[in-house]
Structure 1
Amino acid sequence: MLASRISNRNIFRFNNDISSLDVFISNCKEKWYTILEPTEGIGMPLNIQIFYHICLLYKGFIVLFQKIFHIASSLLVLIRSRLVSRTHNVVYDFASKRKIAMQVGIIGGGIGGVALASVLRQKQIACRVFERAPAFGEIGAGVQMTPNAVKIIRALGLMAQMEAISFTPHAVLGRNWKSGRVMWRTPLMETCQKLYGAPFLHVHRADLHDIFVRQLSPDDVVFGARCTGIRHEGDKAVALFEDGSTFKADVIVGADGIHSAVRTALFGQEAARFTGHMCWRAVVPCNGVVDYVSPDSSFWLGPAAHVVTYYIRRGNAINIVAVSEAPHWVDESWTLPSSREELMATFAGWHPNLQRLFSQVGDVFKWGLFDRDPLSAWSKGRVTLLGDAAHPMLPFLSQGAAMAIEDAYVLGNALAAAGAEKALAFYEAERRPRTARVQLEARKRGETYHLSSRFDVWKRDLSYLVRGLINPQKTGLKADWVYDYDATAVHMPITA
């Protein structure tokens, strides 16, 4: 077949032929240069001249055929990608000319689950999302959409919707908990697009979730479906549900969060370690930027605690995340109620601007932060994990939602390019090293934010200052390597 003839081996051979001819021609020039620049003396013999020009002609033919082969190879790749994208949930196997129907079951309708469903819908791959809640609701609080995640939003054609719900911060600031002194400043608004290829945005989690949900049809989501287990039947995976129903698919993706039933079914119950941190979250409505909260992502660092504040919903609300070390753990859920009084008592003595903001809090929720080591594998057979189910991480780099969106984009594109097993292997190989590094780096940030020793604090703050003078993008959070990653540039070769 033409596809088999147009191979890297042939192109490599032509390149070698050209290189060999170039060496010969170069030798001719060195030995008989008078043929090109006639001077006094004897020129190149006639028979050598003829052979020399034959070689030049042969080289021209090889270069021409090489370009034709490159063009033909590119056209074949384009044709295959168009066939994949135009035949709904079908991947073409060019070796046997079989059509492979693809059905994907997604357990969990959080950001990662609906993001994956949105990618699959664009690739015209059939999918079904199973959400245990009776409906999608106004859940969660603020999300920092860093440039690595925004690149994917743009690639999906959702940038206009994102800009309509977001707030663009001026910078990331590190502040002293009591004085408000700025310890570092990393510019965002004026630099992110130039440095990382996308802006840095703040959104409400429910608004972000809704952008993805609006890409789906009502038939794509099943509510009230609590997954209890997974099994394999031949080359299919089957999800089991509490009501006794089942769903068979070519691929099952566990996007069911930190308490993932799919992860437990694959790898057993995992023991999580309480970090000794308790976290509060709240959203305070406002009418635009106020004088006691700067239009930045502000990290207030104090002894055994820190607070993060930033605007969401186009500047009409302020998100609060407050973390304090605590001797007793609370549940890992996001929905345990707390109170304004508990929040203010925990952060008594902190800067007056924070006290003023805390005094306006209405609903407050808290949860304990638990840590898990990176998994050594995400997949078994036709089942894999995504988002918090695969790599639950501490919030100190603000990457939980971003990593889930990256997962969704890479996995969706891999499934569109290849059969299930190859796609899952590629997905895990691409994503697991990156998410493991983010998990471990987030753990480190939790250690440096809460220093209590005066000497340790002085060393840390001096480091922030020096790094900021050298390169503002490498101080404070030191997350430039996170933002620089581009999941839209990750491509799996289209195969059967």
Structure 2
Amino acid sequence: MPLKVIIVGAGIAGLCAAVSMRRAGWEVVIFEKSAFAAEIGAALALSPNGVRVLQRLGFSFERARACEVTTWDTIDGETFSTLASVDFTKSRQMFGAPGYTVHRVDLHNELLRLATGPSDGSVDGKPADLHLGSRVVSATPDGTVVLEDGSTHTADLVVAADGLRSVLRDPVLGAENEIKPYHSGSAAFRFLVDTEEFKKDPVLAELLENKQGHATILVDTKDQLERHMIWYSCRGGEVQNFVGIHPSKADTIEEGEDAKSQMKKEFAHFHEHITRMFGLAEHVRCWPLFIQDPFPTWLRGRLVLIGDAAHPMLPFGGQGANMAIEDGGALGFLFADIVDAGQVEKRLPLYETVRKNRASRVQILSSVRIHQEQKVEAKVRQYADSPDILIPTSMRERTIHDYSYDLFSACEKALVLHTTAKK
């Protein structure tokens, strides 16, 4: 009989864990509180460190309509003049994989196929058993979860992938380890525009002509980059995605016309091209950004936190989804040879060894904008795996630190050391 894992949450972290544990031969059960009734979310960037994990899981970037990023442009928001362009065409040689932009729903659907679909050459193992509309309200370290309907379910391992507002974080941390997030002083506007709508405006249509493969950051050079907007394509170029970061004292979500009006005010001094783009935004949401310091542990008994449940982070650096992907990929690799349920609790600390310091460094770096890495150098250094590890103090070093990480080499090394230590 294969060992059984219950995964709470079918977001990016949960589905990556489901795919990797399925491939490792485990029986996978997923409880997801939503019904997936409608598409939600915007787009995100997949950096080479996350792409390499997805490639190993059999992920199809073509099916997910991902757009490869060949250039990152930095543009002055007021003058719309190019300040810098970073060439990513050599990303495969430098980091082992390219970078992509992808709509969150397309990423999710492809992961869902790999987790729950039939074996078809790109995925093996028994399909995961997905239960929608099944809200988990509590769990215990012995591998038991309780659903809202009162039913209880047990497994050899419980993976808490239930996101930012995780209900399973407390059973892991306990009241003595509560660490509350604090408002960063910034917020993020998000909106999407169909590319066809762009093309109806002759000025914007001209901007799109040379946009293929280009991701853009529009910066306010007069406020030390405290205000900027990121723009890139997704869905094979069919959709344009925008994220606008700005100073804000508000700590609640705004949406609709109020959010759109506020966005126009915040970026009113930006170039006319930007205000034209704002005019096409039909639904704008504004999200407050909170900083969360690393938690002291992710484990208790047979219960483990992953993704945003383990390390909520800000969007600076674009690593939130990539850390979730790394988490999920690591679980399957580290638990592939476990056949005795008695070994689960002994193996879980190895997962934390591989993931916790790595994710904590990225989490702390995510609290500062590019070129501000030195502000958190001392905090990041607390999570160094060894004295000679690169502690980023610049954008270039942050990119190398984040992109060049090889998850599976780290897992292999940890397994070898673990095996040697037991002899």
- TM-score norm. by structure 2 comes to 0.80
Task: Check if 1:382 corresponds to 2:306.
Answer: no
Could you tell me which residue of structure 1 aligns to residue 99 of structure 2? 200
State percent identity of aligned pairs: 29
Correspondence for 1:398: 318
Shift of 1:367: 1.3
Match of 2:108 in 1: 209
Maintained 8 Å contact 1:113/1:255: yes
1:393 deviation in Å? Answer: 0.4
Give the number of the structure whose alpha-carbon radius of gyration is greater: 1
CA contact (8 A) 2:314 2:363 kept: yes
User: Aligned to 1:434, what secondary structure does the other structure show?
Assistant: helix
1:290-305 alignment runs, 5 A limit? 290-292=205-207, 294-295=211-212, 296-302=214-220, 303=223, 304-305=226-227
Contact 1:174 1:476 in 2 (8 A): no
* Structure having the larger proportion of residues in helix: 1
CA distance in 1, matches of 2:32, 2:205: 38
Hey, what does 2:20 align to over in structure 1? 119
Q: Deviations over 1:73-98 (max 9, x none)?
A: xxxxxxxxxxxxxxx72xxxxxxxxx
Superposed displacement of residue 340, structure 1: 3.1
Cα distance in structure 1, aligned partners of 2:133 and 2:30: 11
- Tell me the equivalent position of 2:266: 346
**1:265 corresponds to which residue?**
171
Q: Establish whether residue 250 from structure 1 lines up as the match of residue 172 from structure 2.
A: no
* 1: CA distance, partners of 2:55 / 2:134: 31
Q: Counterpart of 1:392 in 2: which secondary structure?
A: coil
| TM superposition shift of 1:231 | 1.5
One-letter identity of the residue aligned with 1:313? R
* Alignment-derived partner of residue 387 in structure 2: none
Q: Distance in 1 between matches of 2:182 and 2:37?
A: 30
Q: Indicate yes or no: 2:345 matched with 1:445.
A: no
Q: Which runs of 5+ in 2 are unaligned?
A: 118-127, 374-393
Distance of aligned partners of 1:477 and 1:141 in 2 relative to their CA distance in 1, 3 Å threshold: farther
Deviation at 1:447, TM superposition (A): 8.2
CA-to-aligned-CA distance 1:116-161 (integer Å, 9 cap, x gap): 10111112211111111122631111110111111112111223x4
> Does 1:487 pair with 2:393?
no
SS of the equivalent of 1:173 reads: strand
Aligned equivalent of 1:170, options 70, 74, 79: 70
Q: 2-side partners of 1:162 and 1:428: how far apart?
A: 33
* Mapped partners of 1:142, 1:105: distance in 2: 28
Query: Offset at 1:345?
Result: 2.3
Q: 1:375 offset after TM fit, Å?
A: 1.2
Contact kept in structure 1, 2:10 and 2:30, CA below 8 Å = yes
Task: Using structure 1 for the length normalisation, give the TM-score.
Answer: 0.69
Question: Is 1:264–1:270's contact at 8 Å kept on the other side of the alignment?
Answer: no
Number of equivalenced pairs: 365
Letter of the 1:430 counterpart: V
The corresponding residue for 2:86 is 186
1:329–1:164: structure 2 CA closer, same or farther, 3 Å change rule?
Answer: closer
Deviations for 1:380-428, whole angstroms, at most 9, x for unmatched residues? Answer: 1111100000000000111111100000001111121333123311111
The answer as to whether partners of 1:151 and 1:488 remain within 8 angstroms in 2 is: no
Q: 2:335 aligns with which of 411, 415, 420?
A: 415
Cα deviation, residue 446, structure 1:
6.8
The alpha-carbon deviation at position 475 of structure 1 amounts to 4.6
Other structure's SS at 1:291 match: helix
Q: Classify the secondary structure of the residue corresponding to 1:216.
A: helix
Q: Work out which of the residue numbers 306, 313, 331 in structure 1 matches 2:235.
A: 313
What's the RMSD between the two structures over aligned residues?
2.4
1:182-229 superposed Cα distances (whole Å, 9 cap, x missing partner): 3332211x1111111111111000000101101233861111222222
Superposed, 1:353-364 pairs within 5 Å as 353-364=273-284
Q: Which residue of 1 aligns with 2:381?
A: none
Asked whether the 8 Å contact 2:24–2:335 carries over to 1, the reply is no
Rounded Cα–Cα distance in structure 1 between residues aligned with 2:112 and 2:70:
29
| Match 1:371 to one of 291, 314, 339 | 291
CA distance in structure 2 between the partners assigned to 1:121 and 1:181 by the alignment:
49
> Does 1 or 2 have the higher relative contact order (CA < 8 Å, sep 6+)?
2
Which residue, 188, 209, 231 being the options, matches 1:279?
188
- The partner residue of 1:152 within 53, 57, 71 is 53
CA distance 1:339–1:372, shift in 2 (3 Å) = closer
2-structure distance, mates of 1:149, 1:173: 21
Can you give the 5+ residue segments of structure 1 that lack an aligned partner in the other structure? 1-87, 90-101, 450-473
CA pair 374-119 structure 1, distance change in 2 beyond 3 A = same
Kept in 2, the 8 Å contact 1:186–1:475? The answer is no
Corresponding position of 2:250: 328
Match in the other structure for 2:385: none
Q: 1:313 to 1:178 in 2, by over 3 A?
A: same
Question: Match for 1:292: what amino acid?
Answer: L
